[in-house]
Amino acid sequence: MNARLGTLSNTRPQNPPVDLKKRPLTLLIIAVSIIWTGWIFLEGNPGNWRQFGVSSGFDVCSGDYWSLFTSLFVHVGGLHLYFNVYWLYILGGWVEERFGSRFYALLFLISGFCSSALELSFSGGTGVGLSGVLYAIFGLLWGAQLFGSHSTDEVLPKSRVQLFLIWLVACGGLTVAGVLSVGNVAHVVGLIVGLLVACAMASPARWGAKFALPALVLFSGITTLYSPWSYVWLGSRAARAQARPQWEVATYYYSAMIEQRPEDPWPLENRGRIQLYLHHELDGQADLAKAERLKRTPVGRP
């Protein structure tokens, strides 16, 4: 979350009383996030983010599925960390107090998994930080107001609803404008998870929401294994097929990558080498020559 958004309201909402004994998981998540991110800061500018729990989209699709969860605790700056743990303490802690640690843990795991998996599938990386989880918590609290399942006004007044919705839209705009790279898919997916949970908890129960939430979890899981629209997923399958070696399969995936991003030399170069190995000299030389030209303005490996 961004510090400047705190000025949207002149009247600062008063937070409800806190019972720390009823917030063990919230405090644990905050502590792990601070220690994990502090470890990265102490290392300076890490050359290999994988050792800190943030694998590239290519590596996640190749089997580093643990990064879907470990990346949640990593933050890229002091403000990023501060505002995420602040809102987790205020909103997440309230949810844990009222609904219990088991419910809170399940919400954390579901929203963290779905937001990371779908961010990976549609943007090429898991993203970092707790924002997807925070939007799930916000969605739960806001949905409780919309569907009348629980009273959450004391922790989520109208000014905070406006704050989260404005930030959601602003992040999309900043990303489109190229000003800031934000995990917008994770934000939206987290919000949907929270709203579905709130809807399922409403009385009378919305049965559609009870089916929709498992369907979303299932779809998120499927995308980690099969995302033919994802450039990094295609790249992971191409590299795996080439290593086996399954030349025709690898060529198929490299060709799909080239169709998506013709400016990237990496799939062209690998397809060209396969063509040469299979004695398709003209096609291979053409791919390699084009790859060499593109390297003057490289895009890089997915």
Q: What is the pTM of this model?
A: 0.86
Q: Do 127 and 173 sit in the same domain of this protein?
A: yes
Domain-located, residue 181: yes
Residue 19 has pLDDT above 90, yes or no: no
Q: Do 124 and 27 sit in the same domain of this protein?
A: yes
Distance between alpha carbon 232 and the CA centroid of its chain, in Å?
A: 15
Contact 163, 9 (CB under 8 A): yes
Domain-located, residue 212: yes
Q: Do 29 and 169 sit in the same domain of this protein?
A: yes
Q: Which of 67, 80, 116, 187 is catalytic?
A: 187
How do residues 72-84 score in pLDDT, each as one tens digit?
A: 999 988 889 999 9
- Six-digit token pair at 242? 């080439």
Q: Do 264 and 138 sit in the same domain of this protein?
A: no
Domain with residue 121: its CATH number is 1.20.1540.10
User: Can you give the pLDDT at residue 18?
Assistant: 75
Catalytic residue at 131?
A: yes
- In angstroms, the CA 183 to CA 80 distance is 12
- In angstroms, the CA 5 to CA 77 distance is 17
- Structural domain range at position 237: 231-294
| Number of structural domains found in the chain | 2
Q: Do 138 and 274 sit in the same domain of this protein?
A: no
Domain with residue 285: its CATH number is 1.25.40.10
Q: Among 203, 225, 247, where does a domain finish? A: 225
Give the amino acid at 200. Answer: A
Query: In the Cβ-directed half-sphere of 210, how many Cα atoms lie within 13 Å?
Result: 8
Query: In the Cβ-directed half-sphere of 83, how many Cα atoms lie within 13 Å?
Result: 15
How do residues 249-286 score in pLDDT, each as one tens digit?
A: 999 999 999 999 999 999 999 999 999 999 999 999 99
Domain-located, residue 248: yes
Q: What is the mean pLDDT of residues 43-53?
A: 76
Q: Which of 56, 111, 121, 131 is catalytic?
A: 131
User: Can you give the pLDDT at residue 47?
Assistant: 66
Phi/psi of residue 203, nearest 5 degrees? -120, 120
How do residues 102-137 score in pLDDT, each as one tens digit?
A: 999 999 999 999 999 999 999 999 999 999 999 999
Q: Do 67 and 174 sit in the same domain of this protein?
A: yes
Domain-located, residue 42: yes
Total length of the chain: 302
Confidence of residue 8 (pLDDT cuts 50, 70, 90): very low
Q: Do 201 and 250 sit in the same domain of this protein?
A: no
In 3D space, the residue among 225, 244, 253, 219 whose CA is nearest the CA of residue 114 turns out to be 219
Q: What is the mean pLDDT of residues 199-212?
A: 77
Mean pLDDT, rounded, of the chain: 88
Catalytic residue at 159?
A: no
Confidence of residue 46 (pLDDT cuts 50, 70, 90): low
**Which value, to the nearest 10 degrees, does the dihedral of the CA atoms of residues 172, 175, 176, 177 take?**
120
Residues 43, 49, 50: CA angle, nearest 5 degrees: 125
